């Protein structure tokens, strides 16, 4: 019990301090904020979701002391709550009737994360619409204020003339939510890897190469795309940005296919490093991989090539 309390407290303090690194003014140090969820995942995947929630509260208190109560509430919303929910889902299991244990599948964990991020983004839009605020105009004005404050006057004026804020506002909420999605996914994998390395993980590490999504993210993506194309006004804007969020799980499924297929190649690490560098530099490989993730349930590339296990549905 004493060790658990220490881990819970240290995990929360670490999460809060990592999140608070955005105040340093240094870009390199501020990037540590992206790993704020990892200590909480370490707690949740080794002790359970209730300790993870308690550790999140410790982190929130730490953030409140550094950045104030409003930012602490934001920390709980985008870090603490998702970690507690995902930790609970990750530790669900059942007997298969043959003496083995079936754990909650990784594809369903990705779907749960999709639901959390999409719900948070939809709630933000709903609040704006109910208050009579045009969400696109609000995002554009915020972006213009950021550019005016962060750029020299002549550069900011040129950006305004070129409509940079207007174009950026079209997809900014969706891309911000997608970054949050990928950050939480990465931190979850990192937290599980550390817990497994320390022999305190409560479940075995999921077979990510065999990840298979449930059906509903595809339907949600289709409806969001339909709204983004056929609707107008706020509904078009909301649909367009939600579509970005609902595309992310298919990017992850596509990456699972890439990892499964490259497992058969000599020099696999070189192929993967080259692919990720190309994707980070040019972006379009990730678009192709997301399309591959969409097509995988129908073409079954992993099954054809024997590139990775199938997860249970």
Could you tell me if 115 and 26 lie in one domain? no
Find, among 211, 41, 224, 236, the residue nearest to 118 by Cα: 224
Q: Is residue 104 part of a domain?
A: no
Same domain, 176 and 287: yes
Return the closest-CA partner of residue 46 out of 16, 104, 3, 75: 3
**Coil/strand/helix, residue 103:** strand
pLDDT at 29 over 70: yes
Of 72-76, 281-285, 294-298, the range with the lowest mean pLDDT is: 281-285
Percent of the chain with pLDDT strictly greater than 90: 60
Do 257 and 139 belong together in one domain?
yes
266: domain range? 110-313
User: Is the same domain home to 73 and 141?
Assistant: no
In the chain, beta strands by DSSP E? 93-95, 101-103
The answer to whether 217 and 246 have CB atoms below 8 angstroms apart is yes
Measured distance CA(308)–CA(90) in Å, rounded: 20
Arithmetic mean of pLDDT over the chain? 89
The whole-number pLDDT of residue 25 equals 64
Span 12-20, mean pLDDT? Answer: 95
Q: What is the DSSP letter of 306?
A: T
Give the number of domains in the chain. 2
């Amino acid at each position: 019990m004493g060790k658990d309390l220490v881990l819970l407290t240290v995990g929360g303090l670490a999460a809060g301090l990592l999140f608070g690194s955005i105040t340093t003014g240094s870009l390199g140090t501020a990037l540590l904020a992206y790993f704020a969820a990892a200590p909480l995942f370490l707690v949740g995947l080794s002790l359970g979701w209730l300790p993870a929630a308690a550790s999140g509260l410790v982190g929130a208190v730490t953030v409140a002391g550094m950045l104030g109560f409003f930012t602490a509430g934001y920390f709980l919303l985008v870090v603490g709550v998702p970690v507690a929910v995902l930790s609970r889902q990750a530790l669900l299991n059942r007997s298969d009737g043959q003496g083995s244990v079936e754990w909650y599948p990784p594809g369903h964990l990705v779907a749960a994360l999709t639901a959390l991020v999409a719900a948070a983004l939809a709630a933000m839009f709903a609040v704006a619409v109910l208050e009579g605020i045009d969400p696109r105009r609000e995002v554009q004005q915020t972006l213009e204020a950021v550019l005016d404050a962060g750029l020299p006057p002549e550069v900011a004026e040129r950006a305004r003339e070129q409509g940079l804020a207007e174009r950026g506002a079209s997809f900014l909420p969706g891309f911000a939510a997608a970054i949050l999605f990928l950050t939480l996914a990465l931190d979850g994998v990192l937290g599980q890897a550390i817990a497994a390395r320390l022999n305190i993980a409560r479940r075995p590490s999921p077979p990510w190469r065999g990840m298979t999504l449930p059906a509903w993210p595809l339907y949600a993506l289709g409806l969001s795309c339909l709204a983004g194309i056929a609707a107008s006004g706020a509904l078009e804007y909301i649909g367009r940005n939600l579509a970005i969020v609902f595309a992310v799980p298919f990017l992850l499924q596509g990456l699972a296919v890439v990892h499964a297929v490259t497992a058969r190649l000599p020099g696999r690490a070189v192929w993967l490093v080259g692919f990720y560098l190309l994707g980070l530099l040019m972006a379009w490989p990730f678009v192709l991989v997301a399309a591959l993730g969409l097509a995988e349930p129908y073409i079954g590339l992993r099954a054809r090539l024997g590139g990775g296990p199938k997860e249970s549905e």
